[in-house]
Chains A and B, each alone.
Chain A
Amino acid sequence: MSATYKPENSRVATRITHHKEAINYSLTRLWQSQASTWITLAAIAIALSLPASLHLFLKNLKSLTDDKREVPTVSLFIKQGITEQQARDRGELLAELTEIDKVVLIPKSEALEQFRKVTGIAETLETLDENPLPHVLVVTPRMNLISGDTINMQKLANKLENYPEVDLVQMDIEWVQRLRAILRIVERTIMVISILLALTVLLVIGNTIRLDIQNRKEEIEVSKLIGATSAYIRRPFIYSGIWYGLFGGILSLVIVHIALFSLISPVNELASLYASDFSISGLGIKMTLYILLGSSLLGMIGAWLAVGRHLKTTTLT
């Protein structure tokens, strides 16, 4: 007996042949049992589409808050009687302060124009003798000042309020902060839901593979008896798990995008009512790849666990 095994092919070529064979075999088996394959894929797709949709919802909500307000601003309403030039001079002086990044002046004429556009009450405004709106200085503080420390923000507001030209100081940060706090909670919730649903996918695939193993118990035993390694036996099941994950992921993306397309029109309509140019965005290439990669990985892990368990508990007779 030649104690050492001498393959006709090189080890790399053997591995490639085994992988090709496992890929063909696993795909053929999925194709052969189409009904059960589709049921499994549907279960995976539904489980995956929920966190994907929630992520998409969150992403769009975030883009809404990020819209031109990434950095919270402070609006300084200038007293009536102060000229545009005086307001501009004050703005330039303020821009020199260390805690301030930039200052933008919105003259009252421009503010009126914007107000007219947004509210659509131009005719009413025409009846007024003079423009009732003040000049506004929109102050953008430096980021390091506002990162997590709202007390400094308040100090800045107090300081700005003391300038003689300033009538009223309004911080535009509060609603953004509140919304961001809510979004953080939503984000965590989505994360928990995603983990739970990922576990569901893992269990669905693991159970499907377990059933497949039961159906092929004899084949596995015979293969082991004639010298199949655990890797050889495991390989087609691992590929099956990957296909379930990958195709389930693709199907979930289809579901999410169908839902997305059905929302585009009503959301655009709603946005136009608020004079916003907001429009729904899709998952993007990066997130799409993450979903497909993640679902394939879940399939692989589910299959690995199921086969590993079987190989551990099986004894040859």
Chain B
Amino acid sequence: MIEFKAVSKQYPTGQLALYNVNLSMQQGEMAFLTGHSGAGKSTLLKLIALLDSPTEGTVTIAGQDTHYIKQRKIPDFRRNIGVIFQDHHLLKDRTVFENIALPLKIEGMRPHDIKRRVRAALDKVDLLKKEKEYPQMLSAGEKQRVGIARAVVNKPSIILADEPTGNLDPDLALDIMHTFKQFNEYGSTVLIASHDHSLIKEMKKRIIVLRKVKQ
């Protein structure tokens, strides 16, 4: 499903974010990506989400070498990847419903289908009663769950989360992790970048450790 072969990434500033990374994830697998700050966790997720490209090596997603994916095909590709950010990236001027509906609108889905799918996603993250509220009216945990609902609403094959529990208290963080586990059980491949070791241990899933490159 996801395969990194001798992948290195050096930014134009000269900073070497990843060096000779080899990684393989099967379809339907759930794993945690951990490592010290600056170890390249976010960079690795960006390479999978096609937000960046490696300077060396090959990244293969679903059998496709990402290097050969045409620029105009990237949006189609991204629609199959749900990304969750630490700071949610929710649109403040849209309601919870509208935020979650965005990926479906981009797909060009009919309004009644959108309604059905958004409601189902809201139900999964237990926020059905909050659909008409705006992000600023929600707690940090609720915002993160809206972010998760938006990432999974179009049933992506891969779910990537970058420090999704960074700002949450331990109970809420565990709750969020269980939500990810639930989506993994539905068949999505889930990769979560986190440095919360106790939480990662508790989930009893594969752990991928990235070590900081010595410059």
Among B72, B150, B157, the residue within 8 A (CB) of A226 is: B150
Which residues of chain A (1-45) have a CB below 8 Å from chain B?
1-5, 7-9, 13-15, 17-18, 21
Interface flag for B23 (CB, 8 Å): no
Interface flag for A264 (CB, 8 Å): no
| Chain B contacts to A: CB under 8 angstroms | 1, 27, 49, 51, 61-64, 72, 75-80, 82-83, 89, 91, 102-103, 105-110, 113, 150-151, 157-158, 189
Interface flag for A98 (CB, 8 Å): no
Asked if A226 contacts B108 (CB within 8 A), the reply is: no
CA distance A224 to B49 in the complex (A): 11
Q: Which residues of A contact B64 (CB under 8 A)?
A: 3
Asked if A227 contacts B110 (CB within 8 A), the reply is: no
Among B27, B77, B110, the residue within 8 A (CB) of A17 is: B110
Asked if A21 contacts B62 (CB within 8 A), the reply is: no
Known: A13-B108, A226-B79. A1 touches B51 (CB 8 A): no
| Chain A contacts to B: CB under 8 angstroms | 1-5, 7-9, 13-15, 17-18, 21, 218-219, 221-230, 232, 316-317
A to B contact number (C-beta, < 8 Å): 80
Please report whether the interface of chain B is mostly helix, strand, loop or mixed according to DSSP: mixed
CB of B152, distance to nearest CB on chain A (Å):
11
Asked if A14 contacts B80 (CB within 8 A), the reply is: no
Asked if A229 contacts B75 (CB within 8 A), the reply is: yes
Asked if B89 contacts A5 (CB within 8 A), the reply is: no
> CB-nearest residue of chain A relative to B90?
A222
Among B76, B109, B158, the residue within 8 A (CB) of A227 is: B76
CB of A57, distance to nearest CB on chain B (Å):
47
> CB-nearest residue of chain A relative to B93?
A219
CA distance A224 to B76 in the complex (A): 11
What 19 additional pairs, Cβ within 8 angstroms, besides A3-B64, A228-B106?
A1-B1, A1-B62, A1-B157, A5-B76, A5-B79, A7-B107, A8-B107, A14-B107, A222-B89, A222-B102, A225-B49, A226-B83, A227-B75, A227-B77, A227-B103, A227-B106, A229-B72, A230-B75, A232-B106
